[in-house]
Structure 1
Amino acid sequence: MLLPAVGVHAAEREGWNLTQGVTAISQQVYDLHMTIFYICVAIGVLVFGVMFWAIIRHRKSKGAKPASFHESTKVEIAWTLVPFLILVGMAIPATQVLLDMEDTTEPDLTVQVTGSQWKWHYRYFDHDVAFFSLLASSPEQIRNERQKRDTYLLEVDQPLVLPVGRKVRFLITSQDVIHSWWVPAFAVKKDANPGFINEAWTKIDKPGIYRGQCAELCGKDHGFMPIVVIAKPQEEFDAWVQKTALAQQKAREEEQRLLDMEMPMDELMALGKQVYDSRCGMCHQSEGQGMPGVFPALAGAEIAIQPDRLVDHIDIVVNGKAGTAMQAFGPQLSLKELAAVVTYERNAWGNDTGDTVQAAQINAVKSGEDL
């Protein structure tokens, strides 16, 4: 066996072994893993040792004669009873760990985790805080036009922030297809199924930054929805919650103020390009050419150039399109960002409609009003 030969600690340093993690439950999982591993090593050594000893000791060249016996009751009982006892011995600690992993009772904090193609949404119960967490690795890094950082594809714009030393319950679900929320350092890996809620929990022992990924093949950008968790002491977490809640409240107030404003074309186009590149370009491509048979082109598309299709254009960006990969961006983007990206799509790549979409028009579509 390779691991005993090089040592368990060396294997951990090389990334061959299971992550020990930073929670009590992750340590339990690691200890169980190593216990079962050593049992398997012992069985392997014993079985192969006896087998090779028998091959060498009773080989024909030494004049060994094969035994002639049939149906030994003692042997039958032994090779049935011994594996049974071994499995029972393995099942007892495994059952205890599984029960501890599923015990989500009496949490200090509850966070709803919602997966969607291809991002995570976090909502803190008992706090007025909710946000989307998106990949922060730049398109230039993905296209190999810029040097990749050490955290390439494992960095986000808004990480999940959790307190140290508090039991955190996760309610995990999905908006579209099956995802899987996986943070190895917490020993947490739960499927996010549309229409269902799965529960998990953690209690982080050490402040720090912990990274994970979606562990379910959920579509073409499956590799682009990482998880980043920042664990802070309780007082720092409380300060972060207060600051974030205040910022989100101000953002909502700013949106209401925008309803009475007219943004100029140049401001809309500049912001729209940023939003398009970060949210839309992966599917519809950087020049709006789309991916034939998968994602429709926007350059020259009727919905993006005909004046009478403006409401349809806004509606599909805000509410998505059922039965397709087109998501509803209404809950994800601000009114200003939605107005800007629709304006950009109607005036980029030669579309040149001259249309400027304002926050009030977006709000009317979100509210179901007639424009």
Structure 2
Amino acid sequence: MRLLRLVRVRSTSFFWARLRWVISVFLLLFAITSQAEYGVNMTPGVTDISQSVYSLHMIIFWICVVIGIVVFSVMFWSMFKYRKSQGAKPAQFHESTTVEIIWTLIPIIILVAMAVPATSTLKEMYDVSESDIDIKITGYQWKWQYEYINDDVSFFSNLSTPQEQINNEATKGEHYLLEVDEPLVIPINKKIRFLVTANDVIHSWWVPAFAVKKDAIPGFINEAWTKVNEPGIYRGQCAELCGKDHGFMPIVVKAVEEPEYQAWLAAKQEKAKAEALLASQVWSMEDLMAKGEEVYNTSCAACHQQNGMGIPPAFPGLKGSAIAIGPIEAHIDIVVNGKPGTAMQAFAAQLSDVDLAAVITYERNAWENNTGDTVSPQDIAKAKGN
């Protein structure tokens, strides 16, 4: 009986062990076949420097492959050839000068073989001299500001993926979370120097097709450059964990031919002049509300939500709040200047006077707030001290 019980226990253990093995294999096969997109390498990119980085990566990769093959081949051959069952006796030696020299020289040669192409590529990556266009990139939670330093053009680039897609209420688009309202536009075959910084927390400007990834750090300016060879639209993201909406901070770069770039630049400059004229006009409540809703959904809804309910306690609601229905001066002040020690940013430099007037008017009259107040661009200019 005792032997029978022992056999049963061992049979049961064997059964469960085999079942676990089958389940593990099934889960592994399921994981492999369920990959939506399977990639094992980096992109060669569309610039000369990105292709140099890719070539360097492949050189180092194949050096590592050769090292791995040699080391493991020798190890497995030694284990098989000189195994104890064949009567092999371990060699007894130490402090061999020859062995010491060999295993010192070989790694040095390998490292030099890696260092030569790596140094050449790094020197090229960090050479930002003789640029044709200088663009300052400033990271904000959670958008990018682009300033064409010598052309008097500046704008913000915000995520434009519809909120319905984010809330799983609509089918997600091809470029879900990688689309913006205002892409960065650059000409091809021109050296573009990027001056990268941040306004609030650490961000990172990353476009894989350019092999450009630079940290944006408040109070510091990091430099990078690119020279795109092919027209097209290239996408990236903030590569630093910069807050709760880190995944909603995409980058879109549109590389175009020189004539198209010059036409775009002239149109942006004309638009800036037109916006300056708009600030002197008288706006009706209806126009302010329409403009304000657009600005709110782009710049404010991420924190305060489209319905104005916010995400307390970090992001308070605006519906019926002391700010939105309280003294209008306090409302203007907090939107223009922000509130230190909180997530509320200062929007004085982020939005135009027209946009600020419109969004404050919208917040004071949306979601049944109905204060009847309107804010004019002149009120914003006065609050700024202009």
Q: Same fold (TM over 0.5)?
A: yes
Q: Could you tell me which of 284, 287, 304 is aligned with 1:263?
A: 284
Looking at structure 2, the residues matched to 158 and 48 of structure 1 have their Cα atoms a distance apart, in angstroms, of 53
Deviation at 1:234, TM superposition (A): 1.2
Query: What's the TM-score once normalised by structure 2's chain length?
Result: 0.87
Deviation at 1:14, TM superposition (A): 4.5
The answer as to 2:344 corresponding to 1:320 is: no
Q: Where do 1:185-224 residues align within 5 Å? A: 185-224=209-248
Local SS of the residue matching 1:346:
helix
Task: Give the paired residue count.
Answer: 350
Query: In percent, how many aligned pairs have the same letter?
Result: 59
Structure 2: which 5+ runs fail to align?
1-36
Quote the residue 1:334 is aligned against: 352
Q: Is this contact kept in 2: 1:343–1:356, CA < 8 A?
A: yes
Deviation at 1:177, TM superposition (A): 0.7
Quote the residue 1:272 is aligned against: 292
Q: Where do 1:229-248 residues align within 5 Å? A: 229-248=253-272
Q: Is this contact kept in 2: 1:263–1:358, CA < 8 A?
A: no
Quote the residue 1:293 is aligned against: 313
Q: Which amino acid in structure 2 is aligned with residue 281 of structure 1? A: A
Q: Is this contact kept in 1: 2:279–2:378, CA < 8 A?
A: no
Deviation at 1:207, TM superposition (A): 0.8
Q: Is this contact kept in 1: 2:161–2:177, CA < 8 A?
A: yes
Q: Which amino acid in structure 1 is aligned with residue 377 of structure 2? A: A
Deviation at 1:300, TM superposition (A): 2.4
Local SS of the residue matching 1:132:
strand
Q: Could you tell me which of 58, 81, 84 is aligned with 2:82?
A: 58
Deviation at 1:262, TM superposition (A): 4.2
Q: Is this contact kept in 1: 2:145–2:156, CA < 8 A?
A: yes
Query: What's the TM-score once normalised by structure 1's chain length?
Result: 0.91
Deviates more, 1:167-176 or 1:84-93: 84-93
Local SS of the residue matching 2:90:
coil
Deviates more, 1:335-344 or 1:81-90: 335-344
Q: Which amino acid in structure 1 is aligned with residue 284 of structure 2? A: M
Looking at structure 1, the residues matched to 303 and 215 of structure 2 have their Cα atoms a distance apart, in angstroms, of 25
Q: Which amino acid in structure 2 is aligned with residue 325 of structure 1? A: A
Q: Structure 1 residues 344 and 222, CA, compared in 2 at 3 Å: closer, same or farther?
A: same
Larger-Rg structure: 2
Extract structure 1 runs of 4+ deviating beyond 3 A.
none
Looking at structure 1, the residues matched to 150 and 374 of structure 2 have their Cα atoms a distance apart, in angstroms, of 39
Q: Is this contact kept in 1: 2:47–2:227, CA < 8 A?
A: yes
Deviation at 1:125, TM superposition (A): 2.1
The answer as to 2:102 corresponding to 1:78 is: yes
Q: Structure 1 residues 241 and 132, CA, compared in 2 at 3 Å: closer, same or farther?
A: same
Q: Where do 1:1-371 residues align within 5 Å? A: 14-256=38-280, 258=281, 261-264=282-285, 266-306=286-326, 309-367=327-385
Looking at structure 1, the residues matched to 263 and 130 of structure 2 have their Cα atoms a distance apart, in angstroms, of 23
Q: Which amino acid in structure 1 is aligned with residue 365 of structure 2? A: N
Local SS of the residue matching 1:36:
helix
Q: Which amino acid in structure 1 is aligned with residue 78 of structure 2? A: A
Looking at structure 2, the residues matched to 262 and 21 of structure 1 have their Cα atoms a distance apart, in angstroms, of 48
Looking at structure 2, the residues matched to 139 and 219 of structure 1 have their Cα atoms a distance apart, in angstroms, of 19
Looking at structure 2, the residues matched to 142 and 199 of structure 1 have their Cα atoms a distance apart, in angstroms, of 33
Looking at structure 1, the residues matched to 133 and 176 of structure 2 have their Cα atoms a distance apart, in angstroms, of 30
